[in-house]
Structure 1
């Protein structure tokens, strides 16, 4: 779907198909970006904006100061929170067999898998993640000449493009709401 010759209308049509399938939107905050990092917060909202999950998650490893500086989630804040494996059944309930919109889906899906792998578990379900970041990039249609691919935009940039008020929190629930608003703006739905 996501290539340089995609028209805005094709992106809108793709998004409308996803919208008709009753999507949810998901975002995470993590201990970092590496292959051994894990989730410390997750949020899921439905297409109407109802918060389904907004939970801190206790990781096995301490949250490094570099991550705390970004999302302001401290080790003290998560000490009594569920682990990822404990909250996974609740997450599954909302994402099973539904399209799941994420901004930079590749990252969030990878971190969910990593967080399960820490407990020697795997994610064995099929959910249909769709990447709102890639959709927005195709919608804008700007080429990054250095990468020779569609230009990628930060979530805040996408929100500003549509005039959406931007929260200043780097927290999962706010980023999930912003992802939903960007997706709805792409397809012409109120947010």
Structure 2
């Protein structure tokens, strides 16, 4: 099964206020394992980045000079994601921006039903606990030391690891190949020699003692 882990960075918090996408990262999963195939692109938002957003992701206006506008990269983006499920943390936020850009370029919106929202998954699995991407990385012991600022590609990589933990902690790269080590338990055979059958018939002395005992018992069952 093919799934696409998606993360974005933006100029601000809401496209209804004129904010735009500035970066998108898509990582391919094949049967729950990262395949190494990815699509990452910065985007010229045709506007300035808000200082609050810059403080989060560290992508400046100068960093976006020469990047394609969304209309120039949308075909490649749509071709990469195809019709496959999209794994997104807080899917409502990212889809709102993606669909705003799609509407600007005359493309159909991506339905929310296509998104696998890891924020919702985490809240269901750990009710009442923090469910941010950072919190989930801490919970699952996922290394975030390389993450000084938010970035779509790095966040997508962390999200892929979190998603695998949320879906059962499958190990990356696990495959049943000819090179897979197989451990066989070897047991030493134990040879047992059967005992000779023991005699069960009473001796003459035992038979006489039993007969004397029975004779003293009134109504003994052995005499019936």
Range into which the TM-score falls when normalised by the shorter chain: 0.7 to 0.9
Figure out how many residues of one structure are paired with residues of the other and give that number.
Answer: 162
Contact 2:20-2:97 within 8 A present in 1 as well: yes
Q: Give the 3-state SS of the residue equivalent to 1:156 in structure 2.
A: helix
Gaps of 5+ in 1: 1-20, 143-150
Contact 2:99-2:109 within 8 A present in 1 as well: no
Q: Give the 3-state SS of the residue equivalent to 2:2 in structure 1.
A: coil
| Alignment equivalent of 1:177, drawn from 136, 157, 167 | 157
Q: Using the alignment, how far apart are the partners of 1:168 and 1:67 within structure 2? A: 14
Q: Aligned-pair distance for 1:190?
A: 1.9
Q: Using the alignment, how far apart are the partners of 1:90 and 1:174 within structure 2? A: 20
Contact 1:134-1:152 within 8 A present in 2 as well: no
| Alignment equivalent of 1:39, drawn from 21, 25, 49 | 21
Q: Using the alignment, how far apart are the partners of 1:97 and 1:120 within structure 2? A: 19
The question of 1:159 aligning with 2:137 is answered yes
Which structure 2 residues correspond to residues 58-137 of structure 1 after superposition, within 5 A? 58-117=44-103, 119-124=104-109, 128-137=114-123
Gaps of 5+ in 2: 173-224
CA gap of 1:33–1:125, structure 2 versus 1, over 3 A, is closer
The CA deviation string for residues 126-172 of structure 1, in whole angstroms up to 9 with x for no partner, is 68111011111111133xxxxxxxx6621110111100011232000
Q: Aligned-pair distance for 1:115?
A: 2.2
Larger radius of gyration: 2
Q: Using the alignment, how far apart are the partners of 1:113 and 1:120 within structure 2? A: 10
With structure 2 as the length reference, what TM-score do the two structures score?
0.67
Contact 2:71-2:105 within 8 A present in 1 as well: no
Q: Using the alignment, how far apart are the partners of 1:70 and 1:125 within structure 2? A: 26
Higher relative contact order (CA 8 A, sep 6+): 1
The question of 1:56 aligning with 2:42 is answered yes
Compare 151-160 and 72-81 and name the one that shifted more: 151-160
Q: Using the alignment, how far apart are the partners of 1:124 and 1:67 within structure 2? A: 25
The CA deviation string for residues 90-129 of structure 1, in whole angstroms up to 9 with x for no partner, is 1111212101100011110000112233x35233456811
Superposed CA RMSD in Å reads 1.8
Contact 1:49-1:177 within 8 A present in 2 as well: no
